[in-house]
Each structure stands twice: as structure tokens, then as C-alpha cells.
């Protein structure tokens, strides 16, 4: 809908109508008390929306173009009412199933990863997380073991018999990484790295798409739409915290609202990362349980066999004992809510 300025002339209103009709759409003048609006009572093809928006926004006499359609379509539950179920090996994610992905922030050594993998599997995690390529704010921080890290990850995963997820940060690495891991993670800093999204989509691998720390829901689902339009339907969304009011006590603000909002508007599974979401191990269990109770489809949790020796994110990593206790709590909450869930 196009809201005209209060002082818009009849010629300007007619020009807007004509511009709409040029695009093969209907235009409907809505005389208001203070100002006129022009509605478009027909379906606007997704690819026409931004063009139309541009044209109309910049016309004389136009105050504002109000969107009542979303920048995404394939990601919307309107067009795909049933939950998408992502399949990774024998594990199903979404549609009521629940998955836990856990492990260290980064692969540091065979010993460290092996110990972590055994611990998280023993506690019930189905997927091992561990980074080989680490995007870090400072170039002086540990950047990951890279290719060597992937080798270790694959070796450990086979030995322990567990699936894996790991972050890819460069489109040139996508095909190579697809050989090593079961799920490609797109990190928060890469959410709108469109060449990377396209490459990940084309790999055919399941993708875990983290939300950028200041992304709106529309921007996040728009990023998912890049994956979907390039033919990859195996997409999971991951909430990992947004920019906080203050960093004195936390690293990010986990947006718990995202769980019900995304589930209502999209059919894609939503995973929550409480480790980055709050940023300190002592708060992680509370936030993880909150996500479970809110209806998340899974969790991504940092677990390190020796957090005080971790090369990155030690402060927010659970140790294996704390993780095992949390897994018991998660199971209890899910069991309690199952009979009371309404559709």
C-alpha cells in the first residue's frame, strides 16, 4: 500500500496508480480523512515487489510504501504449512523431534575432540559440533586448525560414531568441507554472505543458518530464502543471541521470542545456541531449558572436556558433568510437556 503525503495532488495520485498498472497490477485509491492511500489488491510476484517498492517510494507525493507482504515465500508457513523435517544420517530434526548438537567451540587436538565427542555422545547428544575455521574479531586470536581440524573431526566422528556440524566461512571451501562434515554451519557473521549461502545451498548438505546479532526476523528468513531458492530445503535456523543492552554480565541477549515467532511464521526447524546466547557457562543451563520449554527443535551447546584449557570460548563451555546433568533436565521438561502440547 502506498501512503500519499497529505499535500499530494490529484496528478501525483494518478501517477502512482499508473505506475502500478504499468506493472500489470490493479490500483485502488483509498480516500482517507487526512490523506489518500493507494492499495494494490492483487498478488505481487516476489521478484516484482522490490522493483515496485523502489519505483513508488521515490515518486512525488508519496510519503511511505507500506509492505504487507514478506521478503520471503519458500520459508513461510503460509506456503508450506507442515513442518520441514531435516534428515541428517539417521537423525530427523523438526516436526516434534528434538536434537542436541554439542561439543567444543574449536577442534584443538585429537585428544581434546575425542574426549569431548565421547562425553557428549554418552550424555545423549546426536551431533558433534566443533569448529575448524574460526571467524574471530581480532586477527591475533586463534583462527582454528583449519584443514587439519577437519581431518581430526572426521576421524573422531567415525571412531565415536556421531554426526557432525562445523562452520564454513569461505565459499571456496564449501565443496571440500562437504566431504568432512554432515551439516554445514553458516555463522552469525556470515548470515548475509550471499555467495557463501548460494555455495552452501548447491552443496546439497543440510545447513544450519545462524542469525546475525542485529538481524530482523525478515532478514534472517530472507537469508534462508537464498538457500531455499537455490534448491536446498534442508535448512535449520539457529538463534544465538542478539546485541545486548550491555555487555557487563553477558555476551549477547538470547532472543527467546524467536522460538515461537519463527515457528509460527516458518516451517523450518529452529535450533537455539544458549552458549553464545548468554556467554557464560553458569547461565547456560537455565537458558537451554528455557529454549526447550519454548518449543525449540534442538540445541547447539558448547561442551569442552577442560573449559579452563580451551583455546576459545572456554568461559561459556560446559564441562561434561554439567552437560550430562542438563541433558537429564532437558529430557524431564520434554517429557512433562509432551502430553500437554496443543497443536
Residue ranges in 77-106 that form contacts with a second copy under rule CB under 8 A:
78
Beta carbon of residue 11, minimum distance to a second copy (angstroms, whole number) = 14
Interface residues for a second copy in 201-220 (CB under 8 A)?
212-219
119 binds a second copy (CB under 8 A): no
Per the CB < 8 A criterion, the answer to whether 130 and 101 are in contact is: no
Among 85, 91, 178, 261, binds a second copy (CB under 8 A): 261
Nearer to a second copy by C-beta: 162 or 207?
A: 207
DSSP-derived letter for residue 308 is G
Q: How many residues does the chain have?
A: 343
DSSP-derived letter for residue 55 is H
Beta carbon of residue 89, minimum distance to a second copy (angstroms, whole number) = 29
Q: Which stretch binds a second copy (CB under 8 A): 1-9, 87-95, 114-122, 146-154?
A: 1-9
What is the C-alpha to C-alpha distance for residues 182 and 207, in angstroms, rounded to an integer? 9
Interface residues for a second copy in 228-247 (CB under 8 A)?
229, 242-247
Phi, psi values for residue 282, rounded to 5° = -65, -20
What is the C-alpha to C-alpha distance for residues 25 and 99, in angstroms, rounded to an integer? 45
Selection from 241, 310, 246, 307 nearest residue 276 by Cα:
241
Q: Which residue has the cell 507442515?
A: 82
Beta carbon of residue 90, minimum distance to a second copy (angstroms, whole number) = 28
Interface residues for a second copy in 295-324 (CB under 8 A)?
295, 307-315, 317
Please list, in sequence order, all residues whose beta carbon lies within 8 angstroms of the beta carbon of residue 51, skipping any fewer than 6 positions away. 23
Nearer to a second copy by C-beta: 21 or 141?
A: 141
Interface residues for a second copy in 276-295 (CB under 8 A)?
277-278, 281-283, 286-287, 289-295
23 binds a second copy (CB under 8 A): no
Selection from 226, 253, 218, 224 nearest residue 236 by Cα:
224
Q: Which stretch binds a second copy (CB under 8 A): 87-95, 114-122, 158-166, 248-256?
A: 248-256
Nearer to a second copy by C-beta: 91 or 293?
A: 293
Q: Which residue has the cell 503525503?
A: 5
The H or E element spanning position 294 is helix 284-294
Beta carbon of residue 162, minimum distance to a second copy (angstroms, whole number) = 24
161 binds a second copy (CB under 8 A): no
176 binds a second copy (CB under 8 A): no
What is the C-alpha to C-alpha distance for residues 94 and 58, in angstroms, rounded to an integer? 43
Nearer to a second copy by C-beta: 161 or 246?
A: 246
Beta carbon of residue 218, minimum distance to a second copy (angstroms, whole number) = 6
Nearer to a second copy by C-beta: 157 or 258?
A: 258
Beta carbon of residue 161, minimum distance to a second copy (angstroms, whole number) = 28
Nearer to a second copy by C-beta: 13 or 256?
A: 256
Beta carbon of residue 60, minimum distance to a second copy (angstroms, whole number) = 7
Q: Which residue has the cell 535450533?
A: 271
**Cell numbers at 88, concatenated:** 541428517
Dihedral over alpha carbons 132, 136, 138, 140 (to 10 degrees): -10
Residue 284: helix, strand or coil by DSSP? helix
Beta carbon of residue 261, minimum distance to a second copy (angstroms, whole number) = 5
Q: 38-77 mask for a second copy (x: CB under 8 A)?
A: -xxxxxx-xx-xxx--xx-xxxx---x-x-xx-xxx----
DSSP-derived letter for residue 324 is H
Beta carbon of residue 114, minimum distance to a second copy (angstroms, whole number) = 20
Per the CB < 8 A criterion, the answer to whether 40 and 18 are in contact is: no
Nearer to a second copy by C-beta: 85 or 294?
A: 294
**Cell numbers at 42, concatenated:** 492483487
30 binds a second copy (CB under 8 A): yes
Selection from 223, 257, 224, 262 nearest residue 242 by Cα:
257
Amino acid at each position: 500500500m502506498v501512503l500519499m503525503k497529505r499535500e499530494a495532488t490529484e496528478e501525483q495520485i494518478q501517477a502512482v496508480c499508473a505506475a502500478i498498472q504499468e506493472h500489470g497490477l490493479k490500483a485502488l485509491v483509498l480516500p482517507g480523512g487526512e490523506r489518500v492511500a493507494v492499495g494494490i489488491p492483487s498478488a505481487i510476484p516476489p521478484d516484482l515487489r522490490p522493483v515496485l517498492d523502489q519505483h513508488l517510494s521515490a515518486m512525488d507525493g508519496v510519503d511511505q510504501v507500506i509492505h504487507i507482504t514478506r521478503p520471503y515465500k519458500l520459508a513461510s508457513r503460509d506456503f508450506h504449512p507442515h513442518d520441514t523435517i531435516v534428515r541428517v544420517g539417521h537423525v530427523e530434526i523438526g516436526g516434534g523431534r528434538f536434537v542436541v548438537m554439542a561439543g567444543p567451540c574449536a577442534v584443538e587436538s585429537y585428544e581434546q575432540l575425542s574426549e569431548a565427542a565421547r562425553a557428549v555422545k554418552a550424555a545423549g547428544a546426536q551431533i558433534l559440533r566443533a569448529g575448524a575455521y574460526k571467524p574471530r574479531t581480532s586477527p591475533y586470536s586463534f583462527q582454528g586448525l583449519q584443514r587439519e581440524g577437519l581431518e581430526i573431526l572426521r576421524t573422531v566422528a567415525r571412531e565415536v560414531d556421531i554426526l557432525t556440524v562445523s562452520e564454513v566461512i569461505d565459499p571456496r571451501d564449501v565443496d571440500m568441507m562437504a566431504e568432512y562434515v554432515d551439516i554445514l554451519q553458516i555463522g552469525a557473521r556470515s548470515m548475509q554472505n550471499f555467495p557463501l549461502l548460494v555455495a552452501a545451498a548447491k552443496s546439497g548438505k543440510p545447513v544450519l543458518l545462524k542469525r546475525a546479532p542485529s538481524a530482523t526476523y525478515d532478514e534472517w528468513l530472507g537469508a534462508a530464502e537464498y538457500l531455499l531458492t537455490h534448491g536446498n530445503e534442508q535448512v535449520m535456523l539457529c538463534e544465538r543471541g542478539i546485541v545486548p543492552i550491555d555487555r557487563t554480565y553477558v555476551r549477547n541477549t538470547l532472543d527467546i521470542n524467536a522460538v515461537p515467532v519463527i515457528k509460527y511464521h516458518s516451517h523450518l526447524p529452529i535450533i537455539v545456541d544458549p552458549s553464545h546466547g548468554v556467554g557464560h557457562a553458569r547461565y547456560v543451563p537455565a537458558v537451554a531449558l528455557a529454549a526447550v520449554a519454548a518449543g525449540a527443535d534442538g540445541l547447539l551447546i558448547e561442551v569442552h572436556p577442560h573449559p579452563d584449557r580451551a583455546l576459545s570460548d572456554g568461559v561459556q563451555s560446559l564441562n561434561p558433568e554439567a552437560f550430562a546433568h542438563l541433558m537429564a533436565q532437558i529430557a524431564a521438561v520434554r517429557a512433562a510437556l509432551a502430553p500437554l502440547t496443543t497443536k
